[in-house]
Structure 1
Amino acid sequence: MLLDLFIIGVAITLGPLHNTGFILILTADRGVRKGLAFILAWLACLVVVIALVLLGTGGTPPRPHTVPSSVAEAVKLAIGLALICFGEYKRRKAAGKPRTPPTWLGRLHDVSAWTAAGFGIFLQPWGMVAAAAAIVVGAKVSSVASYLALMGFCLLASASILVMELCTAFAPEAAGRQLDRVRVWLDDHTDQAVVVISLLAGLWLVSKSIYQLVT
């Protein structure tokens, strides 16, 4: 479970779309407060999804080679294949074409704290979150260490926005300059980042799921 959640957590935290949106919110007027609303909504989604999975499984994974365990692996396999297809679609679409940022991104400078929280939910990479939920289905969660691992996943998946929030809160001028550079880089490399993250995460999920299904 630990390695799987680590890989998915890294894939989530490096996602370019929510990081770009968060930077625009954070650099707006009263951005720290709005950024905090975004983070709380973001973390709440992760916690609620994991809590619902644990309520459903009781922290006990289904026995291997039973219908529930096969369904969980099939879900991971389907998500992995979907990520691979999406990454290939984005690669083909982006080839030789200039990227046009979504028009709604430009409006994030003027949102309220409540709207920022809404974007914390909207910009979740729900495919990756669903993959993490399927991983937790097959995990035995009964010790303090296992609960700490799940907390670590939530923090890892939120690491990029947490770092940006803290840097802006304690060193706003220096953070502002760095965030401008990061946003420019993300604007130029969003498609490439999406392709790489989707393909790598998808290949990992597919390979692990197939291995679990055939052994």
Structure 2
Amino acid sequence: MVLDLVIIGLAIAVFPLSVTAFVLVLSARGGTWKGLAFILAWLACFVGVLAIVLFATGGKPPAPRSPPSTASSAVKLAVGVGLIAYGWYRHRRGPRRSDSEEADGEESDTPRRQPGGMMSRLDRSSVWTAAAMGPLLQPWGLVAAGAATVVGADLSHTSSYLALAVYCVLATSSLLAMEIYAAVSPDAAHERLGKLRAWLQSHQNQALVAVSLTAGVFLVGRSIYALAA
């Protein structure tokens, strides 16, 4: 269980779409507070999903080859296949023309604030809007795979609590690192986050392909092994 949670947590942490959205939130006016609201809502939803799973299992792992155990492996297999299919689709499609043109035409590291544009809307948004974005922009396929893995948690052992805590922190680590950096050194963070945003715009498709295929192959392999064992 621990290895699965570490790999899934890392994949969630570096999932390009979530990271890009959070960079945009931090780049908005009042971005530090909006970023904090985003993270708190993200964590609340994340922990809530795990709590529901643990409540359903009573904190005791199901017996091997029992219906709940088989269902857990089947969910991870389905998510893995879906990630591989999505990664292959993104690879075949390639980056969208609009994304490439926006990245090539970026004159500075500061996000553009055209009237009616994304950054303009984020500037006008409230912390409540940022909080609503947190759960919506989670990579729910990977979250589902993590929840299916947590079915095997045994809360009678302290190590399980530690593994779950590490999983939650690891999955949120990229957001936490950017939020802390923006709060401690706002000027430097503004410049570096602008560069990160520009890099993500030009390499987002490749990153999505790499993360999706890597996580998908891992989940498919682990779930097939669990079903065949």
TM-score range, shorter chain: over 0.9
Q: CA deviation at 1:111?
A: 1.7
1:98 match: 97
1:4-47 Cα offsets, whole Å, 9 max, x none, are 00000000000111111111111211111111000000001110
Distance (Å, rounded) in 2 between the aligned partners of 1:7 and 1:201: 7
Query: Cα 1:119–1:68, aligned 2, differ >3 Å: closer, same or farther?
Result: same
Q: CA deviation at 1:145?
A: 2.3
Distance (Å, rounded) in 1 between the aligned partners of 2:98 and 2:123: 21
Distance (Å, rounded) in 1 between the aligned partners of 2:162 and 2:79: 25
| TM-score, reference length from structure 1 | 0.94
Does residue 122 in structure 1 map to residue 128 in structure 2? Answer: no
Q: CA deviation at 1:105?
A: 4.6
Does residue 135 in structure 1 map to residue 134 in structure 2? Answer: no
Q: CA deviation at 1:136?
A: 0.5
| TM-score, reference length from structure 2 | 0.89
Query: Cα 1:204–1:99, aligned 2, differ >3 Å: closer, same or farther?
Result: farther
Q: Which amino acid aligns with 1:197?
A: V
Q: CA deviation at 1:114?
A: 0.3
Q: CA deviation at 1:140?
A: 1.9
Distance (Å, rounded) in 2 between the aligned partners of 1:18 and 1:104: 19
1:122-165 Cα offsets, whole Å, 9 max, x none, are 10100000000000112323222211211111111011110111
Q: Which amino acid aligns with 1:16?
A: P
2:80 match: 80
Structure 1 contact 21–108 (Cα < 8 Å) conserved: no
1:194 match: 208
Distance (Å, rounded) in 2 between the aligned partners of 1:117 and 1:26: 12
- Find the residue that maps to 2:99 and give its secondary structure: coil
1:157 corresponds to which of 171, 174, 177: 171
Runs of 5+ consecutive residues of structure 2 not aligned to the other structure:
103-115
Q: Which amino acid aligns with 1:94?
A: G
- Find the residue that maps to 1:193 and give its secondary structure: helix
Distance (Å, rounded) in 2 between the aligned partners of 1:212 and 1:109: 48
- RMSD between aligned alpha carbons? 1.8
Does residue 54 in structure 1 map to residue 54 in structure 2? Answer: yes
Q: Which amino acid aligns with 1:174?
A: A
2:112 match: none
Q: CA deviation at 1:104?
A: 7.5
1:110 corresponds to which of 124, 134, 140: 124
Residues 177-186 or 65-74, more deviating:
65-74
Structure 1 contact 37–114 (Cα < 8 Å) conserved: yes
2:15 match: 15
Aligned residues: 214
Distance (Å, rounded) in 1 between the aligned partners of 2:155 and 2:75: 20
- Find the residue that maps to 1:124 and give its secondary structure: coil
